[in-house]
Each structure stands twice: as structure tokens, then as C-alpha cells.
């Protein structure tokens, strides 16, 4: 029997396209450790750009099919799927991929020559800002479930709750009275559900924060970002305060954000506010990863859907504004109860339709980050 050559396996895998990145796995350098034994058994590792990759199974099966088709005499095929999260293009002074610079530099932190550097966090690969046009649309709920879901897939995840006037993450994870430790002059994030968390609510009581304005608020925000010992993170989720005021603008201007996620309900009113959030990110050149529609419908016990806030408003808005639609999350009492009881729905009821929807949204966001990072590193 003719032995199988490693080059035959490489050639076969060179025909397998990464569906999102539009190039083959070999060109993208995603295949490692190809080994063929004397009996014709093959093993190799595929290194994905995120552990939350929704295409994981598809890619694995495509590899197996491609090898079986090209090398019919192959024995067993053992594909080990791992991941290494790619870094944001905005990392370490790189300005590639952000487009949108208007060239006039009228914003101080716009990245032009001589402009102040945006704040970067050394060991944080990607910063995802989660924003909403107005309060109460479920931004914090989406941020938390996103963080927990990415962590559950195997990523290293941090979460910042920057809602100065109404921090909700401590309650949502049952850490109301927790105070972070300080080590070597840095705040230690508090870890829960596999996520490293820091909230303005851990640092000051809400009544104190309520009277802060302008500089006080800004310096508290800065502290949340720069004075925390995050260590290594694949994704840092930044739950922004609701709305598009000065605090939000300063934050998104001064921090090297990989991309923004916008949360809305399907309601028209919410959508009018969403347009303002979109404008804010576009103005400062932060890529928008896409739009999440929360509270899309209420599922009745017989499985029918009640579209309480109107139908597909988010999806239509995304389309007309040239944004990716990242998915819909239905209304469910388990989400609200999860928020109130301190255990996110994704942990308490992982199989519930809302939790599944939230996981799909998380996968979609991870995927958009990978695409963004690949586009600027390949171009
Ligand atoms: N899909 C959902 N199903 C049921 N309840 C939800 C859902 N999403 C959010 N909620 C509930 O709605 C309320 C508001 O959510 P949340 O605090 O996440 O909103 P927010 O946009 O962050 O608000 P704000 O920023 O103004 O604090 C919470 O009680 C939360 O549990």
C-alpha cells in the first residue's frame, strides 16, 4: 500500500475555505500539527480565530470531506479544533481598518498626527463596546449574557459596567455588597461565572455617583478602564451608560475600541435613539459590529409569538443603515428572573430559547470581530 504523504493532506485542506474570511485554511495558517501514521490515519489541529465560532462544526466537517474526497485511501481522521483569538487592529498604535477618518482631525482623539493616543490595554485583545440609544432596552442584560457566553465557549473575558448612574451588573450577578481588592495599586476584578468583572457599583454607592458630573464622572470612568488588573483577555465587554451624551462620546473617543454592538428593542422610539448611537460611533471612527434586537417577541406556552413591540424593527433598521443584524433575543421571564436573582439566564436555563438566542448572538459578535481583525491584517 502506498503511504499517504503530508503534502496530500495539505493540498486537500488547501481547498477548504474559511466561510467568513473567504480564504482557505492553509493560506490563513489555521492548520497545525498534521501527522500521518503508517496505517494512513491522519490527525491535525485547526486553530480558529475564536472559540465561540459558529462555523466550528461546518469547518471540521468540510476538512474531513475534503480529505476523504482527495485521498480516498485515508484511514481515520482526527481533527482537533482549538482557537487563538485574534487581536484588534486598533491594538498597539495600529490605525488600520478603521476607515471613517474624515481627515480633518477636528476631534482631538481622532488618531491623526499629534493627536493624543487612545487608551489601550496591553493584554486585552479586543474591546467590545455595548451601547444603546436609550435606557431600559436590556443593554446590561445583553452585555452580561454575551460575556458569560463567550467565557463558556473558552475565551478569556472581562466585563466593565460603566453605568455611573445605574450600575446593574452587581445585582445581576449577585455581588451587590462586594468591594474589589487593591493589589500593587491596581483594582482586582471580581470573577464570577468565568468572567472578570468591574463595575462602578463596586466602587461607589449609587447616591454618591448620582451627584457626580463632568470631570468627576470622567475620571471615575478612566479609573474603571486603566486602573484594573485585567491580565490577559480575549474580549473585554464594555457596558456603556445608556444614551449618547458627553460621557459616552468621551469614552468611545478615548478608548481603543475594536467594535461596537448596539442594542435596541423593535420599537420605533427606541430606533430613533439608535440612529444617534450609530452616528456617534461613525463620527469617531469606531466600527459598528452590528445591531442586537432585544425583547423581540414574547413566546406563549403553545409556541406562538406575540410581537409586543412590533415586528423586525431592528432587522429592518440594520438593513437600511448598512449594519450587520446580530440576532433577536425574545422576552422571557427567565431572563428577568435571572437578572433579579443574580444568575444570568444563560447559566440558570442554558437550554431555554432566550439563552440559546443569546448564545447565538455571542457567536455572531465573536465572528464579526474575527472578520474585522482578519480584514485589516490581510489587506
Ligand atoms: N429579553 C428579555 N426578557 C425579559 N426581561 C428582560 C430581557 N432583557 C432585559 N430584561 C429586563 O429588563 C430590565 C432592563 O434591562 P437592563 O438593565 O439590561 O437594561 P439596560 O438597557 O441596561 O438599562 P439601563 O442601562 O437603563 O440600566 C431588567 O429588569 C432585565 O431583567
The tens digit of pLDDT for each residue in 118-150 reads: 888 889 999 999 999 888 899 999 999 999 999
Domain 6-83 coded CATH 3.60.150.10: no
Q: Is 158 annotated as a binding residue?
A: no
Ligand 1 centroid distance, CA of 362 (Å)? 17
227-276: pLDDT as tens digits: 999 999 999 999 998 888 888 888 888 889 999 999 999 887 778 889 99
267 in contact with ligand 1, CB cutoff 6 A = no
Ligand 1 centroid distance, CA of 140 (Å)? 6
71 CB-side CA count, 13 A: 24
94 falls in which pLDDT band (50, 70, 90)?
Answer: very low
Mean pLDDT on 330-336: 83
Pick among 3.40.50.360, 3.20.20.150, 3.40.50.1000, 3.40.50.300: CATH of 91-378 = 3.40.50.300
167 in contact with ligand 1, CB cutoff 6 A = no
Domains 6-83 and 91-378 share a fold: no
Residue 340's pLDDT is: 82
Residue written as grid cell 483594582: 187
Residue written as grid cell 482578519: 374
Mean pLDDT on 183-205: 91
Closest Cα partner for 206 from 230, 158, 241, 237?
A: 241
How far is Cα 322 from Cα 100, in angstroms, rounded to an integer? 14
Residue 129's pLDDT is: 96
131 in contact with ligand 1, CB cutoff 6 A = no
Residue 302's pLDDT is: 79
Ligand 1 centroid distance, CA of 15 (Å)? 45
97 falls in which pLDDT band (50, 70, 90)?
Answer: very low
| Helix H or strand E segment including 33 | strand 31-36
Could you tell me the end-to-end alpha-carbon distance of the chain, in angstroms, rounded to an integer? 44
Q: Is 111 annotated as a binding residue?
A: no
155 in contact with ligand 1, CB cutoff 6 A = no
How far is Cα 378 from Cα 345, in angstroms, rounded to an integer? 38
Residue 230 neighbours by CB distance under 10 Å? 20
Question: Mean pLDDT score of the chain, rounded to an integer?
Answer: 86
Residue 295 has pLDDT above 80, yes or no: yes
Q: Is 94 annotated as a binding residue?
A: no
Ligand 1 atom closest to Cα of 337?
31
Q: Is 137 annotated as a binding residue?
A: yes
* Boundaries of every domain in the chain: 6-83, 91-378
295 in contact with ligand 1, CB cutoff 6 A = yes
Atom 8, ligand 1: residue with shortest CA distance: 138
Instruction: Give me the residues paired with residue 186 across strands.
Output: 183
Q: Cα separations (Å) of 33 from 61, 72, 213?
A: 18, 21, 56
List the alpha helices (DSSP H) in the chain.
6-13, 56-70, 139-153, 169-172, 200-203, 206-210, 214-226, 246-254, 268-283, 313-320, 333-341, 345-348, 353-378
Residue 99 has pLDDT above 60, yes or no: no
How far is Cα 315 from Cα 235, in angstroms, rounded to an integer? 25
Tell me the backbone φ, ψ of residue 331, rounded to 5 degrees. Answer: -80, 135
Strands 42-48 and 190-192: unpaired
Amino acid at each position: 500500500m502506498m503511504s499517504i504523504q503530508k503534502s496530500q493532506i495539505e493540498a486537500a485542506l488547501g481547498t477548504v475555505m474559511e466561510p467568513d474570511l473567504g480564504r482557505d485554511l492553509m493560506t490563513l495558517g489555521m492548520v497545525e500539527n498534521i501527522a500521518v501514521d503508517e496505517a494512513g490515519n491522519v490527525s491535525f489541529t485547526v486553530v480558529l480565530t475564536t472559540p465561540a465560532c459558529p462555523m466550528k462544526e461546518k469547518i471540521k466537517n468540510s476538512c474531513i470531506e475534503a480529505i476523504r474526497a482527495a485521498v480516498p485511501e485515508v484511514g481515520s481522521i482526527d481533527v482537533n479544533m482549538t482557537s487563538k483569538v485574534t487581536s484588534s487592529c486598533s491594538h498597539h498604535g495600529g490605525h488600520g481598518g478603521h476607515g471613517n477618518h474624515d481627515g480633518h482631525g477636528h476631534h482631538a482623539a481622532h488618531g491623526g498626527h499629534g493627536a493624543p493616543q487612545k487608551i489601550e490595554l496591553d493584554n486585552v485583545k479586543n474591546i467590545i463596546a455595548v451601547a444603546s440609544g436609550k435606557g431600559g432596552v436590556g443593554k446590561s442584560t445583553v452585555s452580561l449574557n454575551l460575556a458569560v457566553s463567550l467565557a463558556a465557549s473558552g475565551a478569556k473575558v472581562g466585563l466593565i459596567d460603566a453605568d455611573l448612574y445605574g450600575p446593574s451588573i452587581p445585582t445581576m450577578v449577585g455581588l451587590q455588597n462586594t468591594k474589589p481588592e487593591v493589589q500593587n495599586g491596581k483594582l482586582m476584578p471580581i470573577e464570577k461565572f468565568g468572567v472578570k468583572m468591574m463595575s462602578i457599583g463596586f466602587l461607589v454607592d449609587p447616591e454618591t455617583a448620582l451627584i457626580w458630573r463632568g470631570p468627576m464622572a470622567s475620571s471615575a470612568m478612566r479609573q474603571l478602564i486603566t486602573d484594573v488588573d485585567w491580565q490577559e483577555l480575549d474580549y473585554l465587554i464594555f457596558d456603556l451608560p445608556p444614551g449618547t451624551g458627553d460621557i459616552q462620546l468621551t469614552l468611545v473617543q478615548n478608548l481603543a475600541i475594536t467594535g461596537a454592538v448596539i442594542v435596541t428593542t423593535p420599537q420605533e422610539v427606541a430606533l430613533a435613539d439608535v440612529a444617534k448611537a450609530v452616528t456617534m460611533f461613525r463620527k469617531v471612527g469606531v466600527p459598528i459590529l452590528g445591531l442586537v434586537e432585544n425583547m423581540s417577541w414574547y413566546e406563549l406556552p403553545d409556541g406562538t409569538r406575540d410581537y409586543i413591540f412590533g415586528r423586525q424593527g431592528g432587522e429592518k433598521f440594520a438593513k437600511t443603515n448598512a449594519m450587520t443584524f446580530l440576532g433577536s433575543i425574545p422576552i422571557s421571564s427567565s431572563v428577568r428572573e435571572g437578572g433579579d436573582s443574580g444568575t444570568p439566564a444563560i447559566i440558570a436555563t442554558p437550554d431555554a430559547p432566550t439563552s440559546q438566542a443569546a448564545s447565538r448572538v455571542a457567536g455572531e459578535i465573536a465572528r464579526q470581530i474575527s472578520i474585522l481583525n482578519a480584514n485589516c491584517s490581510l489587506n
